[in-house]
Amino acid sequence: MKKDIEIPIVENVYVAVVKEWNDEFGGHDWNAYIINDQDIPIEMVLVVTKGYNTEKKTSLLRHGIGTVNAKSSAKIEMIQEELFAMNNEFSVTFFAEGKLFDKKYVFRKNTINENAFRDLPVMEQRGVLVS
């Protein structure tokens, strides 16, 4: 029975954290994005986020993103710098080509920092990427 269940593998969909200037508050914010580097849109995107370490954990946050077009990105949430000392997990679920996809992306504690910046696919920015 289990051998008959197809579990599709998520490819070319990423989560990134970017440091961006916020004109309204006159400072930098850290924002998480979902990046769709596929040639097809992903639909009904749902992202559940949480932070955790051995001593404490954050609340679960759920974000209904909707559709992320091909070769584009969508903002998930702003992340406070205090959370970088924790593991930050993003559980992403979406539909594409009539199939349900699911993947967990984890930024390990202290891995979100400017030293880890790299060029991001689709976005014309630099940030921390997990795939």
Q: Say yes or no to pLDDT of 1 above 70.
A: no
Spatial contact of 42 and 74, defined as CB atoms under 8 Å apart? no
Topology of domain 2-120 in CATH is Immunoglobulin-like (2.60.40)
Q: Whole-angstrom Cα distance, residue 37 to residue 3? A: 30
**Structural domain boundaries of the chain?**
2-120
Q: Whole-angstrom Cα distance, residue 21 to residue 27? A: 6
Average pLDDT over residues 99-108: 96
The rounded Cα 58 to chain-centroid distance in angstroms is 17
Q: How confident is the model over 53-83, as pLDDT tens digits?
A: 999 999 999 999 999 999 999 999 999 999 9
Closest-CA residue to 12 (of 49, 47, 39, 33): 39
Q: How confident is the model over 18-51, as pLDDT tens digits?
A: 999 988 888 899 999 999 999 999 999 999 999 9
**pTM of the complete model beyond 0.75:** yes
